[in-house]
Amino acid sequence: MTSNQYYETITHREEAFYLQGALDHFNERIRIDYYLGNISDLVTKVEALAEAYNYTKIIIKVRKEHLHTFLQFGYVMEAFLQSYFQGSDGYFVTKYRDEKRRNSGEWVKEDNIVSAILHTTVFKEKSVPKEYVLRKAKKEDATELAALYGHVFEVYPTPLNQADYIEKTMEEGTIYYVYEKEGRIVSAASAELDVVQRNAELTNCATLEEHRNYGLMKELLKKLEEELFNRAIYCSYTIARSLSYGMNAAFHQLGYTYTGRLTNNCYIFDKLEDMNVWVKDLSIRL
């Protein structure tokens, strides 16, 4: 499957509005990342596109001053994005076109996971063994990165198992950091930068199973945060699998705030999964 079969980026301009986003074919949804103009006309266009592609979910990142307007059009606020739009707050709002897509069968279990993490104040600190080497990834690493992601994720919402796709994301500004052991990449994570809005999503976190007990991911994420801070990008956020205690706990330990959950948001492994949103203001150096 090519990247275009997964999703297509779109821009659309009409007399009264402008939008940028993605037709996410793989995850059966339309996502709007940026918009200007008349919200009523915008909503009409977005919902027409969702119907045309038979998508079951609409997700829009909206500014705080427009939140009530979108709620009046039947959208639901699912998560909060502190300082997302050049320091101004944003929100994920959604609308569903299918009853099954709207309802989660794991919600209470996921609530319990978040509650357990938030009420845990002491986490066991891990020291990365010296044989693991942390470095920034290069284009030459794309093939090995694709193999890592393909091994860890049988199904993933983007084609990370394809080297050309990873190279393309690097060209577009995505930063990858990796851990190597004996010259082999065993763990990786990335930051997808929006330099216009001054935010970044920490994503594509993967570690080979036999290397998961040494705290590698936490150190990778800290290194990515350092890069973002040095580039004056202070809104850092992630969208983590709600059923993964380890990933959610890692972001909590790093000082991220839980701000909501996206229902049946994307395909991970063999099914649609709910995703937790965690946000951090990197300008606050504790």
Whether the pLDDT of residue 1 is over 60: the answer is: no
Q: What is the pLDDT of residues 14-38, one digit of tens each?
A: 999 999 999 999 999 999 999 999 9
Q: What is the pLDDT of residues 255-273, one digit of tens each?
A: 999 999 999 999 987 789 9
Whole-model pTM: value is 0.93
User: What average pLDDT does the segment 166-186 reach?
Assistant: 97
State which of 83, 102, 121 marks the end of a domain.
102
Count of domains forming the chain:
2
Domain of 74, in residue numbers: 3-102
State which of 102, 128, 159 marks the end of a domain.
102
Measure CA of the first residue to CA of the last residue in the chain; give whole Å.
Answer: 44
- Position 2 scores a pLDDT of 55
CA pair distance 196, 233, nearest whole angstrom: 10
Domain membership of residue 95 (yes or no) is yes
Q: Which residue has the higher pLDDT, 234 or 155?
A: 234
Q: What are phi and psi for residue 54, nearest 5 degrees?
A: 60, 35
Domain membership of residue 55 (yes or no) is yes
Q: What is the pLDDT of residues 117-163, one digit of tens each?
A: 999 866 677 889 999 999 999 999 999 999 999 999 887 878 899 99
CA pair distance 157, 270, nearest whole angstrom: 11
Whether the CA torsion 271, 112, 62, 229 is positive or negative: it is: negative
Residue with tokens 């052991």: 181
CA pair distance 17, 84, nearest whole angstrom: 21
Using only the alpha carbons of the chain, give its radius of gyration: 19
The string of DSSP codes covering 176-244 is: EEEEEETTEEEEEEEEEEETTTTEEEEEEEEE-GGGTTS-HHHHHHHHHHHHHHHTT--EEEEEEETT-
Confidence of residue 3 (pLDDT cuts 50, 70, 90): low
User: What average pLDDT does the segment 184-189 reach?
Assistant: 98
State which of 68, 102, 136 marks the end of a domain.
102
